[in-house]
Amino acid sequence: MPEVIFKQLGLIDYKEAWDIQEDLFQDTISDKIKIRNGEEGITTKNYLLFCEHPHVYTLGKSGSQDNLLLNDKELKDNSASFYKINRGGDITYHGPGQLVAYPIFDLDHFFSDIHKYLRFLEEAVIDTLSEYGIKSGRVEGLTGVWLDGDSSKARKICALGVKSSRWVTMHGIGFNVNSDLAYFGNIIPCGIDDKAVTSMEKELGKKLDMNEVGEVLKQNLAKQFGFSFVN
């Protein structure tokens, strides 16, 4: 059974968390190269980072900055920052009340299939929502987790964007638990302008305990991928 080291980073600046991810990501890739060059006594590690971010918009390498509807002054007025980053996907928002999960996995421990990896992440979120009585699923051709995805009321509750190199992953999940949804009004989320966004708080009419939801998601990720947690 693969093992995963869990780290709770709390509320952390986006760039600081990105730097932590990059360090773990590059270390893992370096170890993989050493293993492939025949060095002995080296094994790669898997990590799962949970956190929340202050208000921030991030734009993936395939996205368009036209989907950010704020100029620099308006970003400052909204106490928000903006980063162009190296994941796939378009623009998204992170902020307090959103559960962010960053798996830095060596997929050689699991399976070498990035599409399957994304579906497994989605399924863990779908299972988590189900435990709170929220029925969710997928929309064909779109990444993420949706409510009423096959209707005119389709709304996104979880966005996904990942990067992988040598089958090592980084970036991951933005799961709207108690998110301030007004901030999504400043972007065209993921470049999709005809569907809404939502949160667990909006759907259930109450705030959720972030630690509790995080623990449920942790266990569903472990179950979905078949790993155990280690210190």
What is the pLDDT, as a whole number, of residue 61? 86
What is the pLDDT, as a whole number, of residue 78? 93
Catalytic residue flag (residue 51): no
Averaged pLDDT, 147-161: 93
What is the pLDDT, as a whole number, of residue 190? 64
Whether the predicted pLDDT of 17 surpasses 90? yes
Record the pTM.
0.94
Q: Is there a contact between 160 and 144 (Cβ–Cβ < 8 Å)?
A: yes
Q: What percent of the chain has pLDDT over 70?
A: 97
27-71, pLDDT tens digit by residue?
Answer: 999 999 999 999 999 999 999 999 999 999 999 888 889 999 999
CATH architecture of the domain with range 3-230: 2-Layer Sandwich (3.30)
Q: What mean pLDDT is reported for the chain?
A: 94
Q: Which of 80, 190, 197, 208 is catalytic?
A: 190
Could you write out the three-class secondary structure of the chain?
A: CCEEEEEEEEECCHHHHHHHHHHHHHHHHHHHHHHHCCCCCCCCCEEEEEEECCCEEEECCCCCHHHECCCHHHHHHCCCEEEECCCCCCEEEECCCEEEEEEECEHHHCCCCHHHHHHHHHHHHHHHHHHCCCCCEEECCEEEEEECCCCCCCEEEEEEEEEEECCEEEEEEEEECCCCHHHHHHECHHHCCCCEECCHHHHHCCCCCHHHHHHHHHHHHHHHHCCEEEC
What is the pLDDT, as a whole number, of residue 89? 79
Contacts of 20 (CB under 8 A, 6+ apart): 9, 49
- C-alpha 24 chain-centroid distance: 16
Lowest model confidence (mean pLDDT) among 123-132, 162-171, 191-200: 191-200
Averaged pLDDT, 124-140: 97
174-194, pLDDT tens digit by residue?
Answer: 999 999 999 999 988 666 666
